[in-house]
């Protein structure tokens, strides 16, 4: 992955004073002929650099990367308007993709590679954006305090038997907003609001911290159960610190709703900008993201689940077992987001 630096531009400007115009023209032509794609990404994983480097090695297309938080990137592209250099926006949640969609940032992409490889529920119905990797939001439990036979569904977490035993992050977290949005889609508004109220009554403590903080709370006995994305837990197993490895050993993973609709899943995904200056390269990038090499990288490099079938997953993740996924289209997480936030607020979910 390469980046054009300020120093590089300054160097070209200085050279213009001492070289012939024909030579400068040749330099400018060379820069113009360089194929590139400009990626705005909220994925903050250092391992993704190898993913982008692999794309460049295979295609010869240089990746220029701008990283930031989802909402900040969306606002930046909006403010840049028709002159935005952004070709691709990548976010870590379908709810954020929906926000960019509502801002009119995406252009539809016609690609048989994308539509054939990515399940319909993991991409936009009109092909405005596509899932690149899949993550499951599941029940994690303290093995010493919870018999997994007691666990069953997300809905069951509202049972009073779990009073004072559940750790989960705040209602401002997009992962939780998408979880509640998915419940709205299958249970309806009234039932989902009652579930939220009962869940809040079962909190072990007021929401604080990220997903790892919930896992650590369960391991420490502050809570019996944590709600978290699966890819966080393997990091403890792979850490050199024995204390972190001990946390992994204390925590079990349970996939809810396996006798029904399946476990809640979300995506990290992206789409092409409607003002993309490098549309051909942008489509090539999206298609590369579902190639076997890239999908294996998502699975092995960041402990995520591939969106394409038949790709090997990380051994630690595989140890959690196979599971059935909810097949609701993830675009519903965005459609229901505003209502989900209102419901969580009314339920007293801080």
Q: What is the pLDDT of residues 78-125, one digit of tens each?
A: 999 999 999 999 999 999 999 999 999 999 999 999 999 999 999 999
* Percentage, residues of the chain above pLDDT 70: 91
Give yes or no: residues 250 and 283 share one domain.
no
The CB-side HSE value for 136 (13 A sphere, CA atoms) comes to: 29
Please report the pLDDT score of residue 26 as a whole number.
38
**317 domain-assigned:** no
Do 191 and 71 share a structural domain?
Answer: no
Question: Which of 174, 178, 113, 132 lies closest to 39 in space, CA to CA?
Answer: 132
* 61: Cβ contacts below 8 Å, ≥ 6 apart: 35, 36, 37, 55, 281, 284, 285
3-state secondary structure of 85: coil
Same domain, 181 and 252: yes
Mean pLDDT (the chain) is: 91
Domain match, 72 and 32 both: yes
Best CA proximity match to 172, nearest among 207, 205, 200, 141:
207
User: Which range of residues forms the domain containing residue 238?
Assistant: 135-264+322-346
* Residue 282 pLDDT: 98
Write the pLDDT tens digit of every residue in 234-258: 999 999 999 999 999 999 999 999 9
Per-residue pLDDT tens digits for 174-230: 999 999 999 999 999 999 999 999 999 999 999 999 999 999 999 999 999 999 999
pLDDT at 48: 85
Q: Looking at residues 314-330, what average pLDDT do you find?
A: 96
pTM, two decimal places: 0.86
* Residue 316 domain flag: no
pLDDT of 12 > 60? The answer is no
The CATH number linked to 238 is 3.40.190.10
- Verify that 195 and 291 share a domain, yes or no: no
pLDDT for res 205: 97
Q: How much is the pLDDT for 301?
A: 87
CA separation for the pair 309, 306 (Å, rounded): 7
Does residue 214 share a domain with residue 159? yes
- Is the same domain home to 212 and 332? yes
Confidence at 33, pLDDT banded by 50, 70, 90: low
Q: Do the bridges between strand 88-91 and strand 265-272 make them parallel or antiparallel, or are there none, so unpaired?
A: antiparallel
User: Do 118 and 33 share a structural domain?
Assistant: yes
- The answer on pLDDT for 314 being more than 70 is yes
How far is it, in rounded angstroms, from Cα 246 to Cα 236?
A: 8
- What per-residue confidence (pLDDT) applies to 46? 72
How many other CB atoms are found less than 10 A from the CB of residue 204? 20
229 found inside a domain: yes
The domain tally of the chain equals 2
Where residue 188 falls (left for φ over 0; alpha for ψ -120 to 50; beta otherwise) is: left
Residue 156 counted as domain residue: yes
Check residue 255 and report its DSSP letter: -
Q: Do residues 273 and 243 both lie within one domain?
A: no
pLDDT at 47 (0 to 100): 75
162 vs 47, higher pLDDT:
162
**Listed range (12-21, 78-87, 168-177, 269-278) with the worst mean pLDDT:** 12-21
Residue 1 belongs to some domain of the structure: no
- Of all helices (H) and strands (E), which one includes residue 297? helix 292-302
**Does the residue 192 lie in any domain?**
yes
Asked if residue 121 and residue 15 are part of one domain, the reply reads yes
- For residues 218 and 214, what is the distance between their CA atoms, to the nearest angstrom? 6
- Residue 211 sits in the same domain as residue 286: no
Q: Do 173 and 92 sit in the same domain of this protein?
A: no
On whether residue 174 sits in a domain, the answer given is yes
**pLDDT band at 15; cut points 50, 70, 90:** very low
């Amino acid at each position: 992955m390469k980046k054009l630096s300020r120093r590089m531009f300054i160097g070209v400007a200085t050279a213009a004073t001492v070289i012939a115009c024909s030579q400068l023209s040749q330099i400018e032509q060379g820069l113009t002929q360089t194929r590139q794609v400009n990626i705005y990404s909220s994925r903050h994983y250092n391992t993704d650099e190898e993913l982008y480097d692999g794309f460049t090695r295979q295609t010869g297309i240089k990746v220029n990367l701008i990283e930031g938080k989802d909402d900040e990137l969306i606002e930046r592209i909006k403010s840049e308007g028709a002159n935005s250099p952004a070709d691709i926006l990548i976010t870590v949640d379908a709810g954020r993709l929906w926000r960019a969609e509502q801002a009119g940032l995406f252009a539809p992409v016609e690609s048989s590679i994308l539509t054939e490889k990515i399940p319909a529920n993991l991409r936009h119905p009109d092909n405005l954006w596509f899932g690149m990797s899949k993550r499951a939001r599941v029940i994690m439990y303290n093995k010493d305090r919870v018999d997994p036979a007691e666990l069953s569904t997300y809905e069951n977490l509202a049972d009073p038997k779990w009073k004072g035993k559940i750790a989960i992050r705040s209602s401002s977290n997009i992962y939780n907003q998408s979880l509640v949005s998915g419940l709205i889609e299958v249970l309806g508004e009234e039932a989902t609001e009652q579930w939220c109220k009962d869940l809040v009554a079962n909190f072990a403590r007021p929401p604080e911290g990220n997903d790892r903080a919930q896992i650590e709370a369960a391991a420490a006995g502050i809570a019996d159960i944590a709600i978290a994305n699966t890819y966080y837990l393997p990091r403890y197993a792979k850490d050199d610190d024995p204390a972190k490895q001990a946390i992994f050993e204390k925590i079990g993973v349970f996939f809810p709703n396996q006798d029904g609709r399946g476990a809640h899943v979300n995506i990290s995904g992206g789409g092409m900008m409607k003002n993309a200056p490098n549309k051909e390269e942008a489509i090539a990038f999206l298609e590369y993201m579902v190639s076997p090499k890239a999908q294996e990288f998502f699975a092995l490099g960041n402990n995520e689940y591939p969106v394409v079938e038949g790709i090997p997953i990380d051994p630690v993740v595989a140890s959690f077992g196979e599971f059935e996924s909810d097949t609701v289209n993830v675009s519903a997480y965005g459609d229901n987001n505003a209502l989900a936030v209102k419901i969580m607020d009314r339920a007293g979910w801080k």
